[in-house]
Amino acid sequence: MSAVVSQLGTRTAVAARDLVKVYGKGDTAVRALAGVSVSFAAGEFTAIMGPSGSGKSTLMHCLAGLDTVDGGSVHIGDTDITHLGDRELTRLRRDRIGFVFQAFNLLPTLTARQNILLGLELAGRKADQAWLDTIVDTLGLRERLDHRPTELSGGQQQRVACARALVARPDVVFADEPTGNLDSRSGAEVLDFLRMSVRRLNQTVIMVTHDPVAASYADRVVLIADGALAGEITQPTADSVLAALAHLGA
């Protein structure tokens, strides 16, 4: 799939075609993804949901180049990442993808500012100061930049992780249960920011979540069941997501 601009003019940020992932071999083999084809438009906030064990994390890891695939392809923009070597993949993840994890994954010895800028520094790049200021101020982190992670609340740590994910203006941000370790108020702040980064800063976010309220912040919910696409919801509400999950037996 090389055409990344649809007839409607929407650019595709990430596309999976016939994605297959099998863990293990022989009798114990688990087909975690059984031929998934799904596209994610640039400038859209998508949530991936489904019952436990349905393949959500596997899908995200394959889309983000964190795991190899056993069949099919993944494109990030024009790049078929399934044929990249380890070094090229590492560079692509560093330069074109942002990550937000459930456990924040900040380096404890670095300040918030150093955590935010580490990836750019490792890549030998300078931050765009105006963009950095926009992110830091939007996330309300200005007064916290010289603090280390242990001196920050969980919500503040996850906001630092969001800033780190966005500072290089990635093609796509993957968020894996970003609110899983947060109370509902801190979670709502992080979700508000992710949604705002899409609406106002024209970023692209793909988020795995178990939480129908978190999913309701997205523009679209993609449903996965038994390693296959099981439907999608546009303009989701917590109720419509709950109903769809109940239908899937989640």
CB of 157 to ligand ATP, least distance (A): 22
Q: What is the DSSP letter of 1?
A: -
Which residue number, 22 or 110, has a Cβ lying nearer to ligand ATP? 22
CB of 54 to ligand ATP, least distance (A): 4
Which residue number, 70 or 95, has a Cβ lying nearer to ligand ATP? 70
Give start and end residues of each alpha helix (H) in 200-249.
212-215, 238-247
Which residue number, 42 or 218, has a Cβ lying nearer to ligand ATP? 218
Task: Give the sheet arrangement for strand 71-76, strand by strand.
Answer: 30-41, 12-23, 71-76, 79-80
CB of 59 to ligand ATP, least distance (A): 7
Q: Which stretch binds ligand ATP (CB under 6 A): 37-45, 49-57, 85-93, 211-219?
A: 49-57
Q: Which stretch binds ligand ATP (CB under 6 A): 35-43, 53-61, 87-95, 229-237?
A: 53-61
In degrees, rounded to 5, the angle at the alpha carbon of residue 51 between the alpha carbons of residues 29 and 244 is 140
- Exposure pattern of 50-84 as b/e (b: 16+ CB <10 Å)? bbeebbbbbbbbbbbbbeebeebbbbbbebebbeb
Which residue number, 176 or 189, has a Cβ lying nearer to ligand ATP? 176
Residues 24-43 that bind ligand ATP (CB under 6 A): 24, 30, 32
CB of 34 to ligand ATP, least distance (A): 10
Among 5, 6, 18, 23, binds ligand ATP (CB under 6 A): 23
Residues 224 and 210: their CA atoms lie apart, in Å, by 12
Residues 138 and 132: their CA atoms lie apart, in Å, by 10
- Which of these, 184, 238, 189, lies nearest to 216 by C-alpha position? 238
Residues 127-146 that bind ligand ATP (CB under 6 A): none
CB of 66 to ligand ATP, least distance (A): 12
Contact between 57 and ligand ATP per CB under 6 A: yes
- Which of these, 168, 169, 163, lies nearest to 189 by C-alpha position? 163
Which residue number, 188 or 250, has a Cβ lying nearer to ligand ATP? 250
Residues 250 and 238: their CA atoms lie apart, in Å, by 14
Among 5, 6, 53, 68, binds ligand ATP (CB under 6 A): 53
Residues within the interface to ligand ATP (CB under 6 A): 23-24, 30, 32, 50, 52-58
